[in-house]
Amino acid sequence: MVNETQHTCSASSSSRSDGGSSSGSESSKDNSRCSTPVLDADRHERLREKMRRRQDAGDKWFSLEFFPPRTANAAVNLISRFDRMGAGGPLFIDVTWHPAGDPGSDKETSSMIIANTAVNYCGLETILHMTCCNQTKDDITGHLQKAKRLGLKNIMALRGDPAGEEWEEEVDGFNYAVDLVKHIRNEFDDYFDICVAGYPKGHPEAESYEADLKHLKEKVFAGADFIITQLFFQPETFLKFMKDCQAIGITCPIIPGIFPIQGYHSLRQLVKLSKLEVPQEIKDVIEPIKDNDAAIRNYGVELAVSMCQELLDSGMVHGLHFYTLNREVATTEVLKRLGIWKEDPRRPLPWAVSAHPKRRVEDVRPIFWASRPKSYIYRTQEWDDFPNGRWGNSSSPAFGELKDYYLFYLKSKSPREELLKMWGEELTGEESVFEVFTCYITGEPNRNGYKVTCMPWNDDPLATETNLLKDQLEKVNRRGILTINSQPNINGKPSTDPIVGWGPSGGYVFQKAYLEFFTSSEIVTALLKVLKKYELRVNYHIVNVKGQNITNAPDLQPNAVTWGIFPGREIIQPTVVDPVSFLYWKDEAFALWIEQWAKLYEEESPSRMIIQYIHDNYYLVNLVDNDFPLENCLWQVVEDTFELLN
């Protein structure tokens, strides 16, 4: 993403006037000024602009198609697949519309909610498919309004399959995709980017290939911004189609739909649905190996790679659209082989950004939600005016309460049985809780031989950055400093650093050391004595579940703990320790003990009572070492505390 940003800069710089044209004070007085540093043009452009910019720059890109899941569990899995495949850097994903699956509803399996989650919680540019046949105008308008409200910006306008065999055109109804395109443009002006489908071999129901091209042209002229094609098996098919389109005046981007063959049955089913014919040479290879899934997939990958390569080499194709069938392996393999999968995607900010348009200026968050970004987005989803540089102008909007710990996109990927294995079928005391924390840090199996790969506060294994602190973290967790968040101090590493870097290249990133943990009131008492010695250097916030709060922070001022300095830009300070939001985080952090851990056990069971005891009596502590150029003193603070206790 960052490479593109750089490109824009140099593009705008190359448009300088060299003493020629004037951009003097008169002309610039009316220019509006950015209120927030534009770190990443990708966050500010519409999809069609991104596409154009990539094309102008000669960058190749890809996109991924998914269908909505059937069950809530499958939804949880699909969202974590979005996170993983999103890391490879697709230009967008799209989510198909399942008329039979209540696609516009609030169900966790609906097309609408899956697309919503992709945009808002996974930060992916997303196209929502929408079909129009057999639907009323009001239904369609309602769906579109809802999509807009949720922050969706792109629609794939389709006819959809008529319900019965004997479908007839309805007068004044939506009979073709072109009607839907017109409707969107009429009702929503230029708000949505609109995509339409192209059929390289012609639509199976069209009178002719030529007639179908004419229909496509109508859709484009009605307001579509680009075309994604149905799958095809030979590159020539697409290249001919593209030339034919251009010949009749279709100039918008046309993106080939790529279907890596992943299995015999899925291919047969797809072919049946799409009424396409598989070329004989492919049939000849597949038939003999139809029972060997791995062999078919390997062949599918080879075939896709060679077809994609040929398309890209033609110079006519800049982006490739993949029909993933919700699977990861084959598509990822093809993309890696083509070299367009981003192995080391640069982070525009140290946290995962949301793709909702109203959040595009968001450039600062409290550090507390670092491992729970989806929860932070959820709790701030009602904010209108986004934190921009610093929070709001005078008062921050309230955080939403987190009641729905079981919302599918906030839920742990691991089922209850697995969590019990990791966190203990039976706890014998606070020490057994210390052990769970320690095993999570070290990666060593617990006493029953299970690795602890997630915690209530972090559904993923330890971050690479936290790994830098592993030895110290292990030591303190063993002794009851139960860490849930931390970062090392960084004094000006290049923004391209593979572990701590973020933002455009050519910059420098900085961090103050941070440590956040639960601990007993005995340890807190000793800690407070020790902290007196560090009064000028260490800021602390110490709070229990009842909200008793001890701090030495100047009143309500946030402390910037991550910042970056970049060429030609204002300073960015994306994470802060903010005293106000800490008290909201506190509610969530304490609740996770109960909601995610205690509730694994029977009521009144000793295990549950141990967790309840910790919840009721421990303190949540955060410490910042302000002296970032010196060696992190927080370990010494903890060491001094243990010494005082002995």
Hey, which residues are catalytic here? Answer: 65
Q: How far is the CB of 280 from a copy of itself (least distance, A)?
A: 54
Q: How far is the CB of 365 from a copy of itself (least distance, A)?
A: 13
Cβ atoms of residues 260 and 330 within 8 Å: yes
Q: How far is the CB of 247 from a copy of itself (least distance, A)?
A: 38
Q: How far apart are CA 304 and CA 294, in angstroms?
A: 15
Name which of 163 and 571 has its Cβ closer to a copy of itself. 571
Taken in order 371, 110, 68, 130, is the CA torsion positive or negative? Answer: negative
Beta strands in 168-290, from DSSP E residues, in sequence order: 193-198, 226-231, 254-258
Q: How far apart are CA 240 and CA 33, in angstroms?
A: 46
Cβ atoms of residues 260 and 304 within 8 Å: yes
Name which of 10 and 280 has its Cβ closer to a copy of itself. 10
Residue found under tokens 């790969």:
453
Q: How far is the CB of 582 from a copy of itself (least distance, A)?
A: 9
Name which of 280 and 394 has its Cβ closer to a copy of itself. 394
Amino acid at 50: K
Name which of 27 and 136 has its Cβ closer to a copy of itself. 27
Name which of 232 and 582 has its Cβ closer to a copy of itself. 582
Pairing of strands 365-366, 619-625: unpaired
Q: How far is the CB of 583 from a copy of itself (least distance, A)?
A: 4
Q: How far is the CB of 528 from a copy of itself (least distance, A)?
A: 7
Pairing of strands 92-95, 513-519: unpaired
Q: How far apart are CA 536 and CA 160, in angstroms?
A: 66
Name which of 16 and 84 has its Cβ closer to a copy of itself. 16
Pairing of strands 319-323, 61-66: parallel
Q: How far is the CB of 10 from a copy of itself (least distance, A)?
A: 7
Amino acid at 537: R
> Which residues fall within 8 angstroms of residue 130, CB to CB, at 6 or more apart?
97, 140, 143, 144, 147, 155, 156, 157, 158, 180
Neighbours of 200 (CB within 10 A): 25
Cβ atoms of residues 271 and 244 within 8 Å: no
Name which of 361 and 473 has its Cβ closer to a copy of itself. 361
- Whole-angstrom CA distances from 559 to 372, 574, 580 are 20, 11, 11
Q: At what angle do helices 209-221 and 235-247 cross, to 10 degrees?
A: 60
Phi then psi dihedrals of residue 602, to 5 deg:
-60, 145
